A and B are shown apart, each in its own frame.
Chain A
Amino acid sequence: MNRKILRLILLVPLLLTLATGLGYAVLSLPDQPQYLPERVIDNMSESGVSHPVTAVLLNFRGYDTLLEMVVLLLALLAVWSLDMPATRHKTQHKTAPGPGLVLDTLTRLLTPVLILVTAYLLWVGAHAPGGAFQAGSVLAASGVLLLLAGWRVSDKLTALPLRIVLVAGPSVFIIISALTLLLEGQLLKYPPAQAGLFIVILETVATLSIGATLAALFLGVRPRESKKDNDKGRQHE
């Protein structure tokens, strides 16, 4: 008990000092951001889209987005490699009750709507708030809803097809980077005339990958690859 009080007495002033320092830093910033906003606005006509955030994400700072897709994939790989027989056993053989009439009906009604919203967000990203990440998360939400309602992807689809969808985003990004390197001599510098096309292709594939990756992260366990693999796992236990 004494230790706890001592800790609080030490910690609270330290954190207050930190908060004061950060607050001072924020308040002492110049009134207007300089340099970057003007450069974005000046180059909007070459970006291929009309929404500045999308232009920054997929054109001016496309490199960040490429690495971000790789981070998502890495996180999923790490989660899958931590998957152990014990948790797998528990999660897969639990006799969960059925989803119930309300959840079941709601899922059936909502999934097509969510897919429609995904497509809308993807398309609207070119000129209004929206884009690949927002669309991908809505797609992932529909996947999570389906998983919660007890729906499972068949084993045939989780082996190779799922992995292709997961890798498609980063790999199409890398292919387009290589293509722009050849065409324009600079990484992810699209030719202005085709920039819009490149961005739509990237965003579509990225949406599918992000949706699949986030839903797979939610599930947490690596899907079984085939019947044979499953039998092997059974013998180990």
Chain B
Amino acid sequence: MNPASFYALVGIGLFCLGLFALIINSHLLRKILAINIMGSGVFLVLVALARRAENMPADPVPHAMVITGIVVAISATALALTLMLRVATETGHATLPDEVEK
């Protein structure tokens, strides 16, 4: 196994860990953090797979996609945090209505 596949597998691990946290936690801030970790996992996979063969230069296309992805992730996170603040001020707690402890 070359280093590229190792890092890609770590990225998949991060993605699944984030998905786990996204499903398990009901607090919205934790969900937003989980989505960010999932995104980081995807970026790690792309960056790692861009240079699979050791003696070749890295493939620039996935790298450019990661830069685009990071910017989109930042703006989505900012929007999600604002939505969370809105939910918290309207309802008094930062969870979705159907996830309040039964």
Contact = CB atoms under 8 A, between A and B. Distances in A.
A153 interface: no
A133 B71 contact: yes
Interface stretch (A27-35, A93-101, A110-118, A184-192): A27-35
B60 A84 contact: no
Given A15-B16, A22-B12, A87-B89, A210 B71 contact: yes
Contact of B86 (A22, A84, A131): A84
A137 to B, nearest CB: 8
Interface string A39-65: 011000000000011011100010011
A165 interface: no
A22 to B, nearest CB: 5
B59 A33 contact: yes
A9 interface: no
Interface stretch (A75-83, A174-182, A195-203): A75-83
Interface string B38-63: 00000001000110110011011101
Interface string B80-102: 01110110010000000000000
A217 B81 CA distance: 10
Interface residues of A, number: 49
A16 B19 CA distance: 11
A37 B57 contact: yes
A7 B59 CA distance: 41
Contacts of A16: 16
A36 interface: yes
Contacts of A160: none
A23 interface: yes
Given A29-B52, A78-B79, A86-B89, A52 B60 contact: yes
Contact of A33 (B52, B64, B75): B52
Given A27-B5, A84-B86, A217-B75, A19 B61 contact: no
A16 B89 CA distance: 37
A176 to B, nearest CB: 18
Given A11-B20, A78-B82, A220-B78, 19 more contacts: A11-B23, A12-B20, A16-B16, A19-B16, A26-B8, A29-B49, A33-B49, A33-B59, A36-B59, A37-B60, A53-B60, A53-B63, A61-B61, A64-B68, A68-B68, A75-B78, A76-B75, A87-B85, A220-B82
